[in-house]
Chain A
Amino acid sequence: MADLTSEFVGIKSPNPFWLASAPPTDKEYNVRRAFDAGWGGVVWKTLGEDGPPVVNVNGPRYGAIWGADRRLLGLNNIELITDRPLEVNLREIKQVKRDYPDRALVVSLMVPCQEDAWKAILPRIEETGADGIELNFGCPHGMAERGMGSAVGQVPEYIEMVTRWCKQNTRMPVIVKLTPNITNILYPAEAAKKGGADAVSLINTINSITSVDLDGFAPEPTIDGKGTHGGYCGPAVKPIALNMVAEIARHAGTADLPISGIGGVTTWRDAAEFLALGAGNVQVCTAAMTYGFKIVQEMISGLSDYLDAKQMALSDLVGRAVPNVTDWQYLNLNYVTKAQIDQDACIKCGRCYAACEDTSHQAIAMGEGRVFTVKDEECVACNLCVDVCPVEGCITMRKLEKGTVDPRTGQEVGDYANWTTHPNNPAAQAAQ
């Protein structure tokens, strides 16, 4: 059993699995259940400033897309920050932290963009004994229209400013939660760093309409015949989140900024991928909302088995894949592969053929008795056949060794060479 003990910006937790600031962490009751189930930490659902709490809609606040057997693939919400009084939340946070001292308890905050507002709330969070704060600069709906959430997160200067206010007014670690609804994740990440953030967490939810009611002609979830964009999350957003995490992890200006990875983490494997791309821990929401808190047990056993099998410590995994994330221009253009079909594994569905013949390079032949074979002289190794084949491992990519001739180009496979030196590149530097 690998040691999964995690320390993130000085906050210790028995494992790197935290629940993200979201509906599952809105109340003492839920958080106690989460800790009892084994979650390493919790980011308490976002608190607003003192005064009358925000209100939520009273119709459906979630929308979803599903697979055929109702497997939930993506979830969207139009819920706002906590709609319970600040006082109640603070009392509960204090009580929970006292009862679960070994667990991480971070408090998410969103107050107006005025220093006084932040100065007012920070001491009250400190008083609860919470381990840190997370600045919610991400929520894309409702609060953004009031100048908070992603309205801050989309303006790097605001991020920097508010982060600085927080760092100046609290001893607690400050994690800045980033919105993906921007053009380049590096700008908000750099701004957070400039403001003194201890870490960033990402991604928050993505602006989205999950579906349209084709009878009522309204986006879903529909409230009295109208709908609005909500925040998208769940397994469907993982690839977007992984890329943004990787961008921050490999960018020189932000590489040393700790990252809490968020976005569609559903299994131990998802978590391991975020960690490998540089996240120090992960935060989970949709998977818990879909299956309940018990899923953390699979995440713990799965990550532990993986680390044992690799004979790695948790810290060895963090960032392990970052050096292998590069720009397209540095990819080896002399790395030549060809698809090959394992005839024993092939079930003769012909999807590779249809995909290649109709939409790619006409590099698969269909022979007598539905025998499908790759035409090396046409195959550009695009991988589409591998991706559409229903049998895992049936179609694989075979690397052509250096010195062999690629039947498609007639060229010998050579040493590493990339676009920066390619003759077709007008900006190429001649190697003279």
Chain B
Amino acid sequence: MPNTQRTPGVVQGRLPAGAYDQNFADMVAPLDPHEAAVAADRCYFCHDAPCTVACPTSIDVPLFIRQIATGTAEAAARTILSQNILGGMCARVCPTETLCEEACVREAAEGKPVEIGRLQRFATDTLMAKGVQPFTRAAPTGKRVAVVGAGPAGLAAAHRLAMLGHEVTLYDAREKAGGLNEYGIAAYKAVNDFAQAEVDWLLRIGGIAVKNGARLGRDLDLGTLRAEFDAVFLGIGLAGVNALRAEGEDKPGVRDAVEFIAELRQASDLAALPVGRNVVVIGGGMTAVDAAVQSKLLGAENVTIVYRRGEAEMGASAYERDHATSHGVRIVTHAAPLRVLGNGAVAEVEFAYTETGPEGLRLTDQTFRLAADQVFKAIGQTLAGVPEGLKLAGRKIAVSGPGRTSLKGVWAGGDCAAGGDDLTVTAVAEGRDAAMDIHAALKG
């Protein structure tokens, strides 16, 4: 008998064969040329535009939208990409509802911002469909830069450095470049293997040698890199995962959400990917939402996100939360895990309700249990494998200005570096700005 949504345990193939393609199709449909023209016409071409100010990469939004409106989407793409070389991915994954679109004056005027994200995707997709890399390299400088981590920060840094005439070696611990673009975001946000297509397109600038399977601390060490290269950029992300610190969290069925998301992204057949009937996701950020929604789309019957504080404190935006609840995910707030229960594999999770007092968050005596055959931990990632000698700020690499670390000749950006939100777009901005600073330093 085939599995269904009600089959107990963690099993594969809960849905009819055709359902997977439908469930994991593009979350937001691309605009067609006419829709793009109409959407672009809504832009007021604001003076000193608030959307541009709100963009961590400072994309000239009114200009690129006007370029779309006048039928020159490729010019629009150049405007975008000159500020943000991963403008294609950012168009898909940026929380635009809390960045450019929140700042849009039409949001203030009528609660319906210009669809900046979708327009950006229209422009960048148009250019990328032509296979054109619109940037060329400056004359060779003879300088060599090591970029460690081929995520958004590393890719942005590598591209900018290559463009400026430097020779770049781009290292990454995993099999594929892309970082969280490849391994860390929900499949329906970047369909058709977009992350790899974007990396391939980006690398066409030339001058970037990619070395996969090279992990800092295992296959590489910072001292050697500093000796061999004129500069080093670290965009190593956050490789560690926080523990629940709840009894029984080592039981089978309890996993890191990031690992599940990565496995899902790399799966060639989603029907073969097992998922629980009752899934509990612990955490409140984008990772929690991505894990929860994708569990539901894989056929889990009941999916619950449990977060220890209130909705307002959740890292996931209102838009993301609505996305989750509209897919049937239940969100429980003000509850923290006490124990993972089960005779062998996980069967239940016991939570205590929380309340915020003068001394901070505390557990109340009121508890409840949720049935669970699969539990995803999404309570944040941590810096792991930091080379010695780098000063930290809190739990991240300390940087000053455009990504300068405490070590001479070493820059850092993206999630591993202190400051800024842990967003793709922020990582791109930090990688780009560090590259410009490296360039200035190398030119002497």
Contacts and interface: CB of A to CB of B under 8 A. Distances in A.
B109 A347 contact: yes
A68 B41 contact: yes
Contact of A347 (B37, B69, B106): B106
B328 interface: no
A349 B47 CA distance: 6
A351 B109 contact: no
Interface in B44-74: 44-50, 69
Contact of A349 (B38, B46, B69): B46
B90 interface: no
B254 interface: no
A347 B109 CA distance: 6
Interface string A339-356: 000000001111101100
A350 B46 CA distance: 6
A341 to B, nearest CB: 14
B47 A354 contact: yes
Interface string B71-105: 00000000000000000000000000000000001
A370 B40 contact: no
Which 5 pairs between the two chains have the least Cβ-Cβ distance? Answer: A350-B47, A68-B41, A354-B47, A347-B105, A347-B109
Contact of B47 (A67, A68, A351): A351
Given A349-B47, A390-B44, A69 B38 contact: yes
SS class, residues of chain A in contact with chain B: loop
A391 interface: yes
Nearest to A388: B44
B108 interface: yes
A353 B47 CA distance: 7
A351 B108 CA distance: 15
Interface of A: 67-70, 347-351, 353-354, 366, 370, 390-391
Contact of B108 (A70, A347, A353): A347
B50 A370 contact: yes
Nearest to A358: B47
Given A68-B69, A347-B108, A349-B105, 6 more contacts: A69-B41, A70-B34, A348-B108, A349-B44, A350-B46, A391-B109
Contacts, number: 39
Nearest to B106: A347
B31 to A, nearest CB: 13
A351 B44 contact: yes
Q: Give the most central of A70, A366, A390, A391: most B CB within 10 Å.
A: A390
B296 to A, nearest CB: 36
B50 A348 contact: yes
A348 B49 CA distance: 9
Contact of A68 (B38, B50, B106): B38
Q: Give the interface size class of chain B.
A: 10 to 19
Nearest to A370: B50
A67 B41 contact: yes
Nearest to B46: A349
7 contacts: A347-B108, A347-B109, A348-B105, A349-B47, A349-B105, A351-B45, A366-B47
Contacts of B49: 350
A65 to B, nearest CB: 14
Contacts of A353: 47
B103 to A, nearest CB: 10
Nearest to A389: B44
A371 to B, nearest CB: 13
A173 B38 CA distance: 48
Interface string B103-119: 00110110000000000
Contacts of B45: 351
A351 B43 CA distance: 11
A68 B46 CA distance: 18
B94 to A, nearest CB: 22
Contacts of A347: 105-106, 108-109
Contacts of A349: 44, 46-47, 105
Nearest to A394: B109
Contacts of A366: 47-48
Contacts of B41: 67-69
B46 A351 contact: yes
A390 B43 CA distance: 10
Contacts of A370: 48, 50
A227 to B, nearest CB: 20
A261 B50 CA distance: 46
Contacts of A69: 37-38, 41
Nearest to B42: A68
A390 B34 CA distance: 23
A348 B109 CA distance: 9
B36 to A, nearest CB: 10
A349 to B, nearest CB: 4
Contacts of B46: 348-351
Contacts of B69: 68
A350 B34 CA distance: 27
Contacts of A351: 44-47
Interface string B208-226: 0000000000000000000
A294 B142 CA distance: 73
Nearest to B107: A347
A366 B46 CA distance: 13
A349 B50 CA distance: 8
Contacts of A390: 44, 109
A246 to B, nearest CB: 32
Q: In this complex, which of A67, A349, A350, A354 has the most chain B Cβ atoms within 10 angstroms of its Cβ?
A: A349
Contacts of B105: 347-349
Contacts of B38: 68-69
Contacts of A67: 41
B99 to A, nearest CB: 17
Contact of B40 (A68, A70, A348, A350): A68
A344 B88 CA distance: 37
Contacts of B37: 68-69
A425 B44 CA distance: 42
Nearest to B37: A68
Interface in B182-238: none
A350 B106 CA distance: 12
A374 to B, nearest CB: 15
B109 A350 contact: no
Contacts of B47: 349-351, 353-354, 366
Contacts of B44: 349, 351, 390
A59 B269 CA distance: 54
A351 B45 CA distance: 8
Interface in B10-39: 34, 37-38
B355 to A, nearest CB: 36
Nearest to A390: B44
A349 B62 CA distance: 11
A262 B40 CA distance: 33
A390 B114 CA distance: 14
A354 B45 CA distance: 10
Nearest to A348: B105
B390 to A, nearest CB: 39
Contacts of B106: 347
A70 B50 CA distance: 29
A351 B46 CA distance: 6
A67 B108 CA distance: 24
Contacts of B34: 70
Interface in B409-423: none
A85 to B, nearest CB: 42
Nearest to B108: A347
B48 A350 contact: yes
